[in-house]
C-alpha cells in the first residue's frame, strides 16, 4: 500500500474506532433507518446519534435520503458491512487486544488528567 493510501486507511479506521459509530453501523446493517429508530436501537441520545451520523456521512460511510418528513440513513457501500463482519471474526483476539496498554478507554469527565503524586491546592 502506498503511503497516501495508508493515511486514508488510518482515517477510515479512526472513523470506525468509536463504539457509538459502530453501534450506529450495526443498527444500519439491515437497511435504511430514521434517526429516531437508530436512537431506539442503539440507546444513544438523539444529539449523540446525529453527531455520529454526520461524522459517518462526512466520511462517505453512510448516505441520507429525505423521505417525506423523515430522513433515512443507510450504509453507503456494502463493503463497510463486510469490513465490520471481518473485524468480528478477529474478536477471538479480544482478550489480548483488551490487555493492550497502548489503547485504554478514555477517562470520563472533562478530559482532565488526574494529578499524580501531589495534591491540588
Dump pLDDT digits (tens) for 21-52: 999 999 999 899 999 999 999 999 999 999 99
pTM reported for the whole predicted model: 0.77
Dump pLDDT digits (tens) for 76-99: 999 999 998 898 888 888 788 888
- Provide the b/e sequence for 27-48 (b: ≥16 CB within 10 Å): bbeeebbebebbbebbebeeee
Fold annotation for 19-96: Arc Repressor Mutant, subunit A (1.10.10)
Q: What are the structural domain ranges in the chain? A: 19-96
Neighbour-count burial of 92, counting CB atoms closer than 10 A to its CB (0-12 exposed, 13-18 middle, 19+ buried): exposed
CB-based contact 36:29 (threshold 8 Å): no
The pLDDT mean for the chain works out to: 86
Amino acid at each position: 500500500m502506498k503511503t497516501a493510501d495508508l493515511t486514508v486507511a488510518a482515517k477510515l479506521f479512526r472513523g470506525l474506532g468509536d463504539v457509538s459509530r459502530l453501534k450506529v453501523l450495526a443498527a444500519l446493517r439491515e437497511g435504511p433507518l430514521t434517526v429516531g429508530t437508530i436512537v431506539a436501537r442503539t440507546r444513544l441520545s438523539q444529539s449523540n446519534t446525529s453527531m455520529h451520523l454526520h461524522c459517518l456521512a462526512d466520511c462517505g460511510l453512510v448516505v441520507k435520503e429525505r423521505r417525506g418528513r423523515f430522513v433515512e440513513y443507510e450504509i453507503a457501500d456494502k463493503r463497510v458491512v463486510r469490513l465490520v463482519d471481518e473485524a468480528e471474526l478477529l474478536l477471538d483476539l479480544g482478550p489480548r487486544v483488551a490487555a493492550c496498554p497502548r489503547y485504554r478507554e478514555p477517562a470520563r469527565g472533562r478530559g482532565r488528567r488526574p494529578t499524580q503524586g501531589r495534591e491540588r491546592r
